[in-house]
């Protein structure tokens, strides 16, 4: 009887193990998941009780906040590199919907306004800074280069990237405005004037894609991104992302004037050094010529010994 009971228990555990292991969030490796009942897996964000919908992408604001929090698991946590007050990764303030709050501040009471992609669009100010609205990022330009080991047929490359954005990042093809290929440069334009509630945001898509390219995938599998074009692997080498808002950024002329002043200073110093070098060379040349002329005159005026 005991051997039969042991075999039955082992079978139950073997069946249950895959179920327990499947309680993960496929689209967010920073989500904490728990199986509260058979077949029901609930996931929430790290450091908060906000639920996560693992059938789609997580809002970029929530992802950035999760990156700033150490995981409460038995593993080492490495804080993100390249921290900045207003650019790159910072600890953002998010709305309940996952959208960025229009005004972001850091611990030193320095504040700035951001767009829907969380990118700074004003100069830094104090906590009296007023950000009246969250300006939408309408277009996103993605430029990337691949290693020049092979060249692809443009229509096949565009088809492969469109399928990638649709299948992996849940982005409807209507938001992919254009894909242009000039080997080894690839240009992708995402256009999303209005976003229905059920569609993913292009800012979230760009963030997931950038993480994938940098081998720091947000997906739970954390597998390396692989793009195949007609059987050949697209080996992405470099990536740049540019954001275009519905309204122009609000950087004042003071910052522009400071930049122009710095350029003018460099130009003036360079010109001054060049003029000084020319004057010194001319002085040396004149001095050498005068010495030579004086020597010739002294030889002419010298009395003959004959």
Give alpha helix (H) positions in the chain. Answer: 2-21, 60-67, 154-167, 202-213, 253-301
* Residue 214 DSSP one-character state: T
| Residue whose structure tokens are 């209507």 | 174
- Tell me how long the chain is: 306
Give alpha helix (H) positions in 229-252. Answer: none
Mean pLDDT (whole number) for 279-296: 67
Asked if residue 137 is part of any domain, the answer here is: yes
Asked if residue 190 is part of any domain, the answer here is: yes
Q: Is the pLDDT of residue 262 over 90?
A: no
Locate 120 and state its tokens: 């700074």
Which residues constitute the domain of residue 40?
31-68+87-252
CA quadruple 260, 266, 268, 271: dihedral sign: negative
Taking only the tens place, the pLDDT of each residue in 30-76 is 888 888 777 788 899 876 678 999 999 999 999 888 887 754 443 33
> How many Å separate Cα 120 from the centre of its chain?
13
Asked if residue 154 is part of any domain, the answer here is: yes
Long-range CB contact pairs, 222-227, < 8 A, 24+ = 222/29, 227/160, 227/161, 227/164
Which of 47-56, 120-129, 297-306 is predicted with the least confidence, judged by mean pLDDT?
297-306
Long-range CB contact pairs, 116-120, < 8 A, 24+ = 116/201, 116/203, 117/60, 117/203, 117/206, 117/207, 117/243, 118/60, 118/61, 118/64, 118/92, 118/203, 119/87, 119/243, 120/86, 120/87
Q: Which residues contact 193 (CB under 8 A, 6 or more apart)?
A: 138
Taking only the tens place, the pLDDT of each residue in 191-216 is 998 888 889 999 999 999 999 999 99
Asked if residue 153 is part of any domain, the answer here is: yes
Mean pLDDT (the chain) is 79
Taking each helix axis from N to C end, the angle separating 202-213 and 60-67, rounded to the nearest 10 degrees, works out to 40
Asked if residue 235 is part of any domain, the answer here is: yes
- Whole-number percent of the chain with pLDDT over 70: 73
Beta strand 103-105 with 111-113: parallel, antiparallel or unpaired? antiparallel
pLDDT at 250: 83
How many domains does the chain divide into? 1
| DSSP result, 97-124 | TSPBPSEEE-TTS-EEEBBTT--B-B--
Asked if residue 248 is part of any domain, the answer here is: yes
| Residue whose structure tokens are 């650019």 | 87
* Helices H / strands E in the chain, number of each: 5, 10
Asked if residue 5 is part of any domain, the answer here is: no
Asked if residue 1 is part of any domain, the answer here is: no
């Amino acid at each position: 009887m005991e051997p039969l009971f042991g075999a039955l228990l082992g079978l139950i555990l073997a069946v249950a193990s895959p179920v327990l292991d499947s309680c993960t969030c496929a689209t967010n490796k920073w989500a904490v998941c728990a199986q509260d009942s058979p077949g029901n897996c609930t996931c929430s964000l790290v450091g908060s009780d906000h639920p996560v919908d693992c059938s789609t992408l997580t809002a970029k604001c929530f992802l950035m906040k999760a990156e700033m929090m150490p995981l409460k698991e038995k593993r080492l946590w490495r804080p993100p590199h390249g921290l900045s007050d207003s650019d790159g990764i910072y600890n953002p303030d998010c709305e309940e919907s996952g959208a960025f709050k229009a005004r972001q501040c850091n611990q030193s009471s320095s504040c700035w306004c951001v767009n829907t992609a969380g990118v700074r669009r004003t100069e830094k100010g104090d906590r009296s800074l007023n950000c009246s609205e969250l300006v939408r990022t309408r277009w996103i330009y993605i430029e990337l280069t691949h290693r020049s080991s092979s060249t692809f047929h443009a229509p096949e490359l565009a088809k492969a990237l469109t399928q990638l954005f649709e299948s992996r990042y849940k982005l409807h093809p209507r938001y992919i405005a254009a894909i242009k290929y000039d080997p080894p440069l690839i240009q992708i334009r995402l256009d999303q004037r209005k976003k229905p509630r059920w569609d993913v945001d292009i800012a979230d898509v760009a963030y997931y894609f950038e993480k994938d390219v940098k081998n720091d995938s947000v997906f739970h599998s954390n597998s390396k991104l692989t793009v195949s074009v007609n059987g050949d692997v697209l080996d992405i080498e470099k990536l740049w992302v540019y954001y275009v808002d519905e309204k122009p950024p609000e950087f004042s002329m003071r910052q522009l004037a400071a930049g122009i002043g710095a350029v003018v200073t460099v130009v003036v110093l360079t010109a001054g050094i060049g003029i000084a070098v020319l004057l010194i060379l001319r002085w040396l040349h004149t001095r050498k010529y005068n010495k030579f002329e004086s020597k010739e005159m002294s030889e002419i005026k010298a009395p003959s010994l004959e």
